[in-house]
Amino acid sequence: MISITLAEIAAAVDGALSLPTGIAADTEISGTVQTDSRLVGPGSIFFALPGETTDGHLFAPAAVDAGAALLIVERTLELDVAQVVVPNGVDALGALARTVVSRVRAAGALRVVGITGSNGKTTTKNLLRAILEKHGATVAPHGSFNNQVGAPISMLEVDDETRFLIVEAGAGGPGEVAKIASFAQPDVAVVLKVGLAHAGVFGTLEATRLAKAELVTGLAPSAVAILNADDDRVASMASMTSARIVSFGLDERADFHAEDLRATATGTSFVLVADGQRREVRLRILGEHHVMNAVAAIAAAHELSVPLDDAITAIEAVPRAERWRMESLRAPSGAVVINDAYNASPDSTAAALKTLAQIVTQDQRSIAVLGEMAELGDVSDEEHDRIGRLVVRLNIQKLVVVGHRARHIHNAAGLEGSWDGESVLVSSADEAYDLLRDDLREGDVVLVKSSKSAGLRFLGDRLGADSTGADSTGAHSNGAHSTGDGSAGASS
């Protein structure tokens, strides 16, 4: 973070500054900003945020012991450290991010890109970061830090040397994307897709459309809105913004579009048509659905004056979309395991299944291991049913459905026509592992797909004998911010 005084921080967050003996209001702070006491280091600012199950204030002593120079709190604590007391810690975090980004922008050449959509945000962010970091210091979210806690934490990493800031804006509810956008005021805004992810939160696709549109409705006339021409709901956002419109997609009328898509087990290729040029692009990332993310990233980079050839070279070197996103692992048996179980919506699950069907050869066996697609509300049964039928229609040769909440996938597959494949319903990931461990053989291609809450990403690692050393629990938060307002993780 940039260097900023305690008094300036208090003013930025509209809080009351409380100082211990010997510390002056003009003391400068430039350490990291954290909501997890375990990540605090010397000079850090620790935001003690409330959560649904516990309270971040309980972890403030640990933060001080780790070297925190400032606490942002909602009540004064009996600790010998500078504190700023605010009415709402989450609001204060966003306010500090807004101040810091504004200062860096005013002092230099900072350009900000915002990305939202029901699917593909993190992949697009990773591809764009790979492009931009070759052309200047770039700050982008870790993992899927895209909500009103995670997004500002990422923004606060900017300093006077930062040239590009990428903001991933998820929507945990109406108004959240607008709030995140207000912290950073994007120069370029990308809207990828409006889909059924987290339909239980928004209820309807129209409500989802309006939530995602919040990224572009507040753009300045000098800004650029990059919109998916293939998604009518996204394309309609052109009438909702005063920004200049750039389109992307597979539609040949789009300003940046892809042709001649080819998916294999080692990657995805396409021809990019843009700016009067045609370029061959060979992604190492699996799945045709990631072509749209790649084209969107290239379009955004182009608007930031990155040449097409530079952008293509950068994204061709990206080895995977993200941990647990279409991640290809090689099992001891010789089977290929595609671990795509970090998140799942009806759209992303259908796309992953289509990829599985496309990349298997005639002498290979396709196996889908599917768990629950969470947060679908009233359409949950219907959408799980639709996925089960799709498995059959794509002629996936074996289906393993994990968990009672995903049972409609299994039921629908069994009712679909004269399928000669096999569907098995098991109650747990351990049962699925026991079922598949001795069954997998050389040439099998296994897709593991579910929402994060189903935990199948760890099953994918076990089947693929992954050796990355990832945290087996997938957790990296203390109880103060593992749920509720304190969460720094992902929204839809």
In the chain, the domains with their CATH numbers are 4-86 (3.40.1390.10), 92-316 (3.40.1190.10), 327-467 (3.90.190.20)
Question: What is the predicted pLDDT for the residue at 484?
Answer: 33
What is residue 438's predicted lDDT score, i.e. its pLDDT?
86
80 half-sphere exposure, CB direction, 13 A CA radius: 3
DSSP letter (8 states) at residue 485: G
Tens of pLDDT, residue by residue over 308-326, are 999 999 999 998 877 778 8
pLDDT-derived band at 203 (thresholds 50, 70, 90) equals confident
Average pLDDT of 230-241?
Answer: 97
d(CA 447, CA 435): 15
Collapsed DSSP state (helix, strand, coil) of residue 361: coil
% of the chain exceeding 90 in pLDDT: 75
- Residues 351-376: pLDDT tens digits? 999 999 999 988 899 999 999 999 88
Q: What does the alpha-carbon distance between residue 243 and residue 353 come to, in Å, rounded to a whole number?
A: 36
- Return the closest-CA partner of residue 51 out of 487, 453, 477, 489: 487
pLDDT band at 478 (very low <50, low <70, confident <90, very high): very low
C-alpha distances in Å from residue 178, one per residue of 115, 185, 380:
12, 10, 27
Q: In the prediction, which pLDDT does 487 show?
A: 56
User: Once rounded to an integer, what is the mean pLDDT over residues 88-109?
Assistant: 96
In angstroms, rounded to a whole number, what is the distance separating the alpha carbons of residues 378 and 153? 34
363 φ/ψ sector (left φ>0, alpha ψ -120 to 50, else beta): alpha
**Mean pLDDT, rounded, for 107-118:** 94
Amino acid code (one letter) for 45: I
Contact 45, 72 (CB under 8 A): yes
332 or 274: whose pLDDT is higher? Answer: 274
Question: Mean of the pLDDT values across residues 329-350?
Answer: 90
Q: 235: pLDDT confidence band, cut at 50, 70 and 90?
A: very high
